[in-house]
Structure 1
Amino acid sequence: MHLGVFTLAMLYLVSLHLYRAYVIPEDILYSIDVSGPLMIITQKITSLAFSVHDGRHGNKDKLSDLQKRYMISRPPSLLEYLSYLFYFQGVLVGPISFYADYQAFIEGTYVSSKHLQNGSDNNNKYRMNGRPSPFDVVCYKLCVTLFWMGFHFTIKPLYPEMINADLAFIRSHGFLYRLWYMWISMLCCRAKYYVAFSLGDAICNASGLGFNGYDRDGRPRWDLVSNVHILGIEGATSFKTYIDNWNIQTAVWLRVVCYDRIPAQKRFFTFFLSAMWHGCYPGYYFTFVSGVPMSEVARKVRHRVRPYFLSSRVSQMLYNVITWVSTHIAMSYIVVPFTILHWEPTIVFYTFNTFWCVHLLCGLLFFIVPQIPACKSQEKATSLHQTQLDTSNSTKSSNKNKAE
Structure 2
Amino acid sequence: MDWLQQFFLHPVSLYQGAAFPFALLFNYLCIMDSFSTRARYLFLLAGGGALALAAMGSFALLVFIPAFCTVVLVSSLGPQEVHRRTFFFQMSWQTLCHLGLHYTEYYLQETPSTRFYITLSSLMLLTQRVTSLSLDICEGKVEAAVGGIQSRSSLSEHLCKALPYFSYLLFFPALLGGPLCSFQRFQARVQGPSSLCSRISFWALTWKGLQILGLECLKLALSRVVSEGAGLTGCQQLECIYVMWSTAGLFKLTYYSHWILDDSLLQAAGFGAGLSSSPGEEGYIPDADIWTLETTHRISLFARKWNQSTAQWLRRLIFQHSRSWPLLQTFAFSAWWHGLHPGQVLGFFCWAVMVEADYLIHTFANLFIRSRPVRLLYRALTWVHTQLIIAYIMLAVEVRSLSSVWLLCNSYNSFFPMLYCILLFLLLKTKHKFN
**Paired residues of 1:283 and 1:341 also in contact (CA < 8 A):** yes
Q: Secondary structure at the match of 1:32?
A: helix
Report the equivalent of 1:96. 180
Q: In the alignment, residue 422 of structure 2 is paired with which amino acid?
A: L
Report the Cα distance in structure 1 between the residues aligned to 2:209 and 2:187, rounded to whole angstroms: 26
Letter aligned with residue 235 of structure 2? F
Tell whether 2:292 aligns with 1:232: yes
Counterpart for residue 219 of structure 1: none
Asked whether the 8 Å contact 1:164–1:353 carries over to 2, the reply is no
Counterpart in the other structure of 2:376: 317
| RMSD of aligned alpha carbons | 2.9
Q: Determine the C-alpha separation between the residues in 1 that align with 2:194 and 2:292.
A: 27
Structure 2: how far apart are the matches of 1:350 and 1:162?
Answer: 19
Counterpart residue number, 2:255: 193
The answer for the alignment partner of 1:209 in structure 2 is: 271
Cα deviation code 1:103-142 (max 9, x no counterpart)? 2222238998xxxxxxxxxxxxxxxxx9454322222222
Corresponding residue for 2:209?
A: 142
- Number of the residue aligned with 2:411: 352
Contact persistence 2:314–2:330 (CA under 8 A)? yes
Q: Are 1:309 and 1:316, in contact at CA under 8 Å, matched by a contact in 2?
A: yes
Contact 2:229 2:243 in 1 (8 A): no
Indicate conservation of the 8 Å contact 1:17/1:279, yes or no.
yes
Residues 22/165 of structure 1: CA separation in 2 closer, same or farther (3 Å cut): farther
Query: What is the 5 A alignment of 1:2-401?
Result: 2-23=83-104, 25=108, 27-33=110-116, 34-55=119-140, 71-75=141-145, 77-108=161-192, 131=198, 133-159=200-226, 164-166=231-233, 168-170=234-236, 174-175=237-238, 177-211=239-273, 224-312=284-372, 314-354=373-413, 356-370=414-428
TM-score by length of 2: 0.69
The CA deviation at 1:200 is 0.3
Distance change (3 Å), C-alpha of 1:254 and 1:273: same
TM-aligned CA distance change 1:86 to 1:225, over 3 Å: farther
What code does the residue aligned with 1:23 have? T
TM-score normalized with structure 1 length = 0.74
Residue 156 (structure 1) shift? 1.7
Percent of aligned positions that are identical: 22
Task: Give me the whole-angstrom Cα distance separating, in 2, the residues matched to 1:75 and 1:318.
Answer: 59
Are 1:18 and 1:280, in contact at CA under 8 Å, matched by a contact in 2?
no
1:17, CA displacement in angstroms? 1.1
**In 2, distance between residues paired with 1:161 and 1:357?**
25
Separation of aligned partners in 1, 2:423 and 2:347? 19
Say if 1:265 and 1:164 are closer, same or farther in 2 by CA, change over 3 A. Answer: farther
Give the counterpart letter for 2:253 in structure 1. Answer: A
Alignment match, 1:126 = none
Residue 334 of structure 1: CA displacement?
2.1
Task: Report the Cα distance in structure 2 between the residues aligned to 1:245 and 1:110, rounded to whole angstroms.
Answer: 34
Deviation at 1:151, TM superposition (A): 2.1
The runs of 5 or more residues in structure 1 that have no matched partner are: 56-70, 113-129, 215-222, 374-378, 380-404
Counterpart of 2:156 in structure 1 is none
- Conserved in 2, the CA contact under 8 Å of 1:16 and 1:35? yes
* Partner Cα separation in structure 1 for residue 247 and residue 302 of structure 2: 17
Aligned partners of 1:291 and 1:334 also within 8 Å: yes
Q: Which runs of 5+ in 2 are unaligned?
A: 1-81, 147-160, 277-282
8 A contact 2:104–2:110 mirrored in 1 = no
C-alpha distance in structure 2 between counterparts of 1:321 and 1:276, whole Å: 34
Determine which structure has the larger helix proportion and give its number: 2
1-structure distance, mates of 2:265, 2:109: 32
Task: State the 1:269 CA deviation.
Answer: 1.1
Q: Secondary structure at the match of 1:226?
A: coil
Q: CA deviation at 1:31?
A: 4.1
Q: Mean Cα displacement is larger for which, 274-283 or 359-368? A: 359-368
Amino acid at match of 1:9: Q
Instruction: Please say if residues 161 and 189 of structure 1, whose CA atoms lie closer than 8 Å, have aligned partners that are also in contact.
Output: no
2: CA distance, partners of 1:111 / 1:297 = 51
Does the aligned pair in 2 maintain the 1:306–1:319 contact within 8 Å? no
Note the C-alpha offset of 1:234.
0.7
3-state SS of paired residue (2:258):
helix
Q: 1:281 and 1:163 mapped to 2: Cα distance?
A: 25
Pairs aligned (count): 329
Whole-angstrom CA distance in 2 between matches of 1:52 and 1:106: 19
